[in-house]
Chain A
Amino acid sequence: MDASLIAENLSKSFSTLKVLDRWNLKIEKSERIVLLGPSGAGKTSFLKMLSGIDSPSSGSLEVFADKIGFVFQEPRLIPWRTVRENLLFVNEDGKIDAVLEKLRLKGFADYYPGQLSGGMQQRVNLARALLLEPDLLILDEAFSSLDLPVKKSIMEDMLKQWQVKRFTILAVTHDLKEALYMADRIIILSSRPSRIVREFTVDLDSCRTFSSPELLALESQLLDIVFQDDAYGISHLSG
């Protein structure tokens, strides 16, 4: 299998503050990876390095992807441009109508972001990333602000696209269920300076449901691991 991403002894500091501490990570093409860790564990810093807007302090990070789609936590749509214009902004040659249809946004191309609900705006955020036909799709807590039905519906649509296009997915989340729903492999991070403390393989078939007994069983297992590894630094809080 070809690699989509290789990080070797990757560290990142902001002046004296060390955020990432010697990450070693290899992600294969078409894999779905979720980074699970507490706030401030440098997940967003890692994603910024991946997308090329920041660089490592030491170690190396190699990304084998021609096109990277990025789904931000907030929609980051240009308010004075319509949905269509927002998509054209990143890719003038993309198949806009086809992407909008797949993400249930047909008929909204001429709407302004302010005229759409939060969930719809997030769909446009995802549509913008998929329009590039990415090799690597990065999701930075992309669904965290959405209510469960909307979250589930958007994730289903995204995973349908993954079934067809088989791009690599690298997502960051705090939500265990969300992680189990979309990942092949979950990377568990410690609190700052973050280290990769464990990898958790999600042994479920790719057609999952949020409430399946198998997923709920894995959630409880994953919860035990998170507490056991003190990934969220809870022992510090309790003194």
Chain B
Amino acid sequence: MKTLSRSLTGILIFILIWQIVALLLNKPIIVPSPTETLKTLWRLLADPVIMAAAFQTAWKVFLALGLVLVLGIPAGLLLGLMEGLYDMSRPVIMLIQAVPVISWLSLVLFTWGPSWEGPVLIAFLSLLPMAILTTVSGVRNLDQNLLEMARVYEVDKKKIIKDIYLGSLLPFIIAIIDVSIGHAWKVILVAEYLAGNSGLGRKIYDARYFVAVADMWALTLIAVILGLLTERLIKIGLRRASKKWMPA
């Protein structure tokens, strides 16, 4: 309760500072007042087109995240188990990690033009190296005592992978999702803005194009709230699922 009231006080102070800056600057084209922005936010929240755009952004985030988990974790598991393959793949992974988002943007624009695939691919590529490398470090941090126990009891390899490897990797998978979800929102919004044909990022682009600054900030607020909300819900879900056995 105390934390909540402190957080609310913080938000109120932020809005107050925003109001003061808006008044002092008196340039709504740069900083619209919070009252105007909140009024616009209210209007946009009731607009089905904006809600559809929010949904389009959200599914792209989940699709990119899903692809990162489905492809990144098995790849990381494989590379963690096979040192030679890891040494071979590491430069490529580092290369993908180092390529700036704008280069991917150019590539997807040339390939698809403004599309939904572009943002998903860009988010996927910018998160994949981290997912692979985190999984590799998870495999390397496996409890050797458990593996030795499995060897002593001559347990089947498939069972070892399922029961020991995947279980040990769960905290690392949680870490991947923790880091990825916030990052995915931001990358998808940027990619939608620059190379997308739908979603909140595209709506922010349109608002900028028509110099609807209050709309731009209200859309940003919607994106922030949605991002934080999904991040929070996913984290709570994951923590609950692993609470029973995760070391405190």
Of the candidates B150, B152, B155, the one having the most CB atoms from chain A within 10 angstroms of its own CB is B152
With an 8 A cutoff between CB atoms, is A59 at the interface? no
A80 touches B145 (CB 8 A): no
What's the interface size class on A, roughly? 20 to 34
Report chain B residues within 8 Å CB of A162: none
CA of A178 to CA of B159, assembled, Å: 36
CA of A90 to CA of B149, assembled, Å: 9
Main SS of the interface on chain B? helix
With an 8 A cutoff between CB atoms, is A53 at the interface? yes
B152 touches A80 (CB 8 A): no
CA of A89 to CA of B159, assembled, Å: 8
Segment with Cβ contacts to A, from B91-99, B162-170, B210-218 = B162-170
A80 touches B245 (CB 8 A): yes
Report chain A residues within 8 Å CB of B152: 51-53, 68, 70
B151 touches A53 (CB 8 A): yes
CA of A233 to CA of B158, assembled, Å: 46
With an 8 A cutoff between CB atoms, is A200 at the interface? no
Report chain B residues within 8 Å CB of A74: 145
A114 touches B247 (CB 8 A): yes
B245 touches A79 (CB 8 A): yes
A51 CB to closest chain B CB (Å) equals 5
A53 touches B167 (CB 8 A): no
A72 touches B149 (CB 8 A): yes
CA of A128 to CA of B152, assembled, Å: 12
**Mask for B136-159, Cβ within 8 A of A = 1, else 0?**
000000000110111111010001
Known: A70-B153, A78-B163, A89-B159. A112 touches B145 (CB 8 A): no
Report chain A residues within 8 Å CB of B159: 89
Among B145, B155, B167, point to the contact of A81 (Cβ < 8 A): B167
- Minimum CB distance partner of B162 in chain A: A89
Of the candidates A53, A80, A90, the one having the most CB atoms from chain B within 10 angstroms of its own CB is A80
Main SS of the interface on chain A? loop
B148 touches A53 (CB 8 A): yes
A89 touches B148 (CB 8 A): no
Report chain B residues within 8 Å CB of A79: 167, 245, 247
A123 CB to closest chain B CB (Å) equals 16
- Minimum CB distance partner of B160 in chain A: A89
B172 CB to closest chain A CB (Å) equals 13
CA of A115 to CA of B243, assembled, Å: 12
With an 8 A cutoff between CB atoms, is A76 at the interface? yes
CA of A72 to CA of B150, assembled, Å: 12
With an 8 A cutoff between CB atoms, is B244 at the interface? yes
B158 CB to closest chain A CB (Å) equals 12
- Minimum CB distance partner of A111 in chain B: B244
A76 touches B245 (CB 8 A): no
Report chain A residues within 8 Å CB of B145: 72, 74, 76
CA of A79 to CA of B167, assembled, Å: 9
B146 touches A76 (CB 8 A): yes
Report chain B residues within 8 Å CB of A113: 245
A81 touches B163 (CB 8 A): yes
Report chain A residues within 8 Å CB of B149: 70, 72, 76
CA of A68 to CA of B153, assembled, Å: 8
Report chain A residues within 8 Å CB of B148: 53, 76
Known: A70-B152, A70-B153. A78 touches B146 (CB 8 A): yes
Report chain A residues within 8 Å CB of B164: 78
CA of A52 to CA of B244, assembled, Å: 34
Report chain B residues within 8 Å CB of A89: 150, 153, 155, 159, 163
CA of A52 to CA of B152, assembled, Å: 7
5 tightest A-B CB contacts, nearest first: A90-B153, A80-B245, A80-B167, A76-B149, A79-B245
Q: Which residues of A contact B (CB under 8 A)?
A: 51-53, 68, 70, 72, 74, 76, 78-81, 85, 89-91, 112-115, 128, 132
22 examples of A-B residue contacts, CB within 8 angstroms? A52-B152, A53-B148, A68-B152, A70-B149, A72-B149, A76-B145, A78-B164, A78-B167, A79-B167, A79-B247, A80-B170, A80-B245, A81-B167, A85-B163, A89-B153, A89-B155, A89-B159, A90-B153, A112-B244, A114-B244, A114-B245, A132-B153
> Other CB < 8 Å A-B pairs besides A52-B152, A76-B148, 15 of them?
A53-B148, A53-B151, A68-B152, A72-B145, A76-B146, A78-B163, A78-B164, A79-B247, A80-B242, A81-B163, A81-B245, A89-B150, A91-B153, A112-B244, A112-B245
